[in-house]
Amino acid sequence: MQSPYPDPTGEDESQSITNRRIQRLSLHLTPNYPQPQNDATHHQLQLLECAKAATLKVDTDSLSNYLRGKHKDIQDRVLDYFNNRPDLQTPLEILKDDHRELCMRQLVALVRDAGIRPFRYVAEDPVKYFAILEAVGSVDVSLAIKMGVQYSLWGGSVLNLGTKKHKEKYFDGIDNMDYPGCFAMTELHHGSNVQGLQTVATFDPLTDEFIIDTPNDGAIKWWIGNAAVHGKFATVFAKLMLPTHDTKGVSDMGVHAFIVPIRDFETHQTLPGIEIHDCGHKVGLNGVDNGALRFRSVRIPRDNLLNRFGDVSRDGKYTSSLPSINKRFAATLGELVGGRVGLAYSSVSVLKIAATIAIRYSLLRQQFGPPKQPEVTILDYQSHQHKLMPMLASTYAFHFATLHLVEKYAEMKKTHDEQLVGDVHSLSAGLKAYVTGYTAKSLSICREACGGHGYAAVNRFGSLRNDHDIFQTFEGDNTVLLQQVAGDLLKQYKEKFQGGTLTVTWNYLRESMNLYLSQPNPVTARWESEDHLRDPKFQLDAFRYRTSRLLQSVAVRLRKHSKTLGSFGAWNRCLNHLLTLAESHIESVILAKFIEAVQNCPDASSRAALKLICDLYALERIWKDIGTYRNVDYVAPNKAKAIHNLAEYLSFRVRNIARELIDAFDIPDHVTRAPIAMQSDAYSHYTQYVGF
């Protein structure tokens, strides 16, 4: 229908709409930045064309070697093995039961045929173990979880909670897959609250046995990996009950771990007194056979108690080097943090694959462009850069942070230093929660960034998203884990003001709290030069200032509300504040480790590239929380604008080396397996897949 109003430009309506759309898209590609107010800002905020001239030359091989480290060879062995075994590759469409059997065959083949024995590294060389886990997860996330259940959880419980007699009896069978097992902690009514578990293990002094019982339906062990089909043993967590001669009849010694055989070795039939049911089809990870376990007066020898932290003698006397139930419980859980470490590290691997697929596609896909000129790649659009470039920077940041966590965990396993144990426990909780939460959101963004083609199952986003989603829940619900971090921060805050010693991860609090308690500097609050904003000291100080501010304010609020609501009510009233505090602290740790990695990089070109993406990570995070800094005049309005503009400028510069940055992840086509992300002639791969 023709408009009743004349067009002042003389163009017809359709032509006018087309021109306006082209004009908007042109502005989208080359935005009109605010004019700089002084020479320093002018130096900092060059037009985007200047970014092209400033493109870095990146030595991809050097950067890749720095990223992948000394265990590159064993990862390549894993990937090459499965690439050369088509019969062990997971097809796109596979039934649940077939996927479970394939997953078991994959793990057995890795151990027995390829000769890679992950269990040997769980205690001896955890860094190497997690490197194998990362490679295995690239083959199939279900396979990585099944391997983790077998070696980190079932095997890890024997190594970490048992004593010499248990290791001698079970190590070889766990190692060579003769003893597939489960980790039976979670119950239908209790997951995060492990101290609330209801399964009981009552000692019978007449027979020298423990009797394992499920007292009610809420105590049924639920979501137990390896239980539905393959497991022959389970490490069962239960309250240890000892008979007494008083009116109570029994004494509760707290939650302990017991080895319980669940299937016959010859027939694979369920043993007497044990009921096993299948948890069924899940949203993802259907190669893992999750099941539910009920125990009806199941008797096991006294020696099946994993007795590192507490033991029962033949005559029923309990002994422990730890004086209380809470101390024993903390020690037990402290030895099981390897699962969280593995999930944080594996989540980064999933993010690398997703980012690689999305960015490769965005460098290939072309849409629109200036009049009478070729179409441009969609990664040239500012909006697309805004989606993917900070994500790429975060992927690098998480890589170095989780690698630091893995190395710290390995050191803890060697030294058993008490301070280090506490540090790793809190750091693993925080990084697992933060990284898995970020990756879960990023998988959806990557799918959307690839448009309709991202919705095709063959291009992996759906399976990656579904398989990874539960990472936010198992090995500790993310919200619960962040509360642990917040609790540790408040404990350290109290130590700081009582003159105590702060552990390594928290050392910065001493200086930052002093800085926070003083007024922001009105001069530095207005500094806006590029050199200043890209100074690691400014960036790290800003992150740590925010954490200290949140810590101080939530401590005041908790003290205030505790008077009327009690400690539990006060904590609940301040819960969102506490979660924000924990995330802020973890971001500070991530940035500190990223800055260290930049400074330690031996190759100049790689170091320059890492510095660029580190600056983008830092400034993007500061800008996202700019309100916090503005509220207390830590950043003046002109500086806030400069941070925003510089972050966009750096995002464009990162776009110019995005191909080299994802190539440095060294993820070959047979690992991404997404036709739209093939490094050569991607569209041909895609059309061939659908049958042309």
How far is residue 358's CA from residue 384's CA, in Å, rounded to a whole number?
Answer: 10
- 241 in Cβ contact with 203 (< 8 Å): yes
In the chain, % helix, strand, coil (3-state, to 5) comes to 65, 10, 30
- 143 in Cβ contact with 188 (< 8 Å): no
> What pairing do the DSSP bridges indicate for beta strands 233-243 and 200-204?
parallel
How far is residue 539's CA from residue 533's CA, in Å, rounded to a whole number?
Answer: 7
Torsion of CA 471, 474, 475, 481, to 10 degrees: 80
User: Collapsing DSSP states into helix, strand and coil, what is residue 174?
Assistant: helix
Helices (runs of H) and strands (runs of E) counted in the chain = 27, 11
> What pairing do the DSSP bridges indicate for beta strands 233-243 and 250-261?
antiparallel
- 634 in Cβ contact with 527 (< 8 Å): no
DSSP string, 528-596: --HHHHT-HHHHHHHHHHHHHHHHHHHHHHHHHHHHHHHHHHHHHHTHHHHHHHHHHHHHHHHHHHHHH
Structure tokens at 223: 């979501």
- 666 in Cβ contact with 64 (< 8 Å): yes
| Residue 38: Cβ within 10 Å count | 11
Residue of 364, 524, 343 whose CA lies nearest to 440: 343
Whether 475 is catalytic is yes
Angle (CA) 585 591 596, round 5°: 130
Structure tokens at 564: 């009327």
Annotated catalytic residue within 134, 335, 475, 587: 475
The helix or strand, by DSSP H or E, that contains position 138, with its residue range, turns out to be: helix 126-139
Query: Which residue do the tokens 């394992």 mark?
Result: 212
Torsion of CA 323, 326, 332, 335, to 10 degrees: -100
How far is residue 154's CA from residue 180's CA, in Å, rounded to a whole number?
Answer: 8
372: Cα within 13 Å, side-chain hemisphere: 0
- 308 in Cβ contact with 120 (< 8 Å): no
Query: Which residue do the tokens 């971090």 mark?
Result: 485
Q: How many residues does the chain have?
A: 692
How far is residue 40's CA from residue 57's CA, in Å, rounded to a whole number?
Answer: 26
How far is residue 392's CA from residue 354's CA, in Å, rounded to a whole number?
Answer: 10
Residue of 342, 340, 351, 344 whose CA lies nearest to 465: 351
Please state at what angle helix 382-415 crosses helix 418-449, rounded to 10 degrees: 160
> What pairing do the DSSP bridges indicate for beta strands 209-213 and 233-243?
unpaired
Q: How remote is the C-alpha of 689 from its chain's centroid? A: 32
DSSP string, 514-545: HHHHSPPPTTGGG---HHHHT-HHHHHHHHHH
> Active-site residues: which are they?
475
